[in-house]
Amino acid sequence: MKPSACQLYLISPLDVGGDFPAKLEEALAAGPVAAFQFRVKGLDQHEAARLAAPLQAICAAQDVAFIVNDDVALAKRLNADGVHLGQGDGDPRDARRELGANAQIGVTCHDSRHLAMEAGEAGADYVAFGAFFPTSTKDVEHRPESEILTWWQGLFELPCVAIGGITVENAKTLIDAGADFLAVSNGVWGHPDGPAAAVRAFDKLMAG
């Protein structure tokens, strides 16, 4: 179902050890967050599952969807709420067979209208466009304009997610263009006043 207004979709930093669980708890307590994506790289499944467990429990306590990045097998092991697939991470139909009818399956579509329509036809629950702004989280090859969100909204019921370098300062353009969700990482975890202040600021922006 499409949300009635833009919502926040948090993406983890690559380092989720140390005091990160406390930061996540602080962020989720500060305001409404629709989903949290667990995104770690280069770890074996056992280590990833160990790091995920406390974060998944925090999300469950706050009724926030826990989405695993790129890894259907890990999502299945954790009984996560869903998985987010990059273009090289497999077919949404296969993920659906593995994870079941209720799993939330998202697909990265970069700046491509064609890839987004293909993802929708393959049964994705949302499509993600980006990176809209420069980001240090990953190497960026695709830079869509915000009007791709407006185009999508005008034709399709499927929710769209805006991703890539989003901060409180630059998010309004994407909200106005029609993003259903803003996927934010460093804009929250790296906020100078802390994650809770960032979530409150995004909430105010989305409400008004």
* CATH number of the domain that residue 28 is part of: 3.20.20.70
Question: Residue 1 above 70 pLDDT?
Answer: no
Preceding amide of 101 cis, omega within 30: no
136 within domain boundaries: yes
- Structural domain includes residue 28: yes
So what's the pLDDT on residue 140?
67
**107-110 contacts: CB < 8 A, separation 24 or more?**
108/84, 108/163, 110/141, 110/142, 110/144
Average pLDDT over residues 6-11: 98
The structural domain count of the chain equals 1
Domain assignment present for residue 2? The answer is: no
pLDDT band at 117 (very low <50, low <70, confident <90, very high): very high
Evaluated on CA atoms 87, 111, 116, 56, the torsion sign reads positive
pLDDT tier at 3, thresholds 50, 70, 90:
confident
pLDDT computed for residue 9 by the predictor? 98
Q: Sorting pLDDT into bands at 50, 70 and 90, what band is 208?
A: confident
Q: Which structural domain, as residue segments, surrounds residue 178?
A: 7-207
Task: Output the pLDDT for position 4.
Answer: 72
Each residue's pLDDT tens digit, 149-160: 999 999 999 999
Task: Tell which residue, 54, 50, 45, has the closest CA to residue 20.
Answer: 54
Residue 9 exposure: Cα atoms within 13 Å on the Cβ side: 28
Q: Is residue 1 part of a domain?
A: no
How large is the average pLDDT for residues 146-173? 97
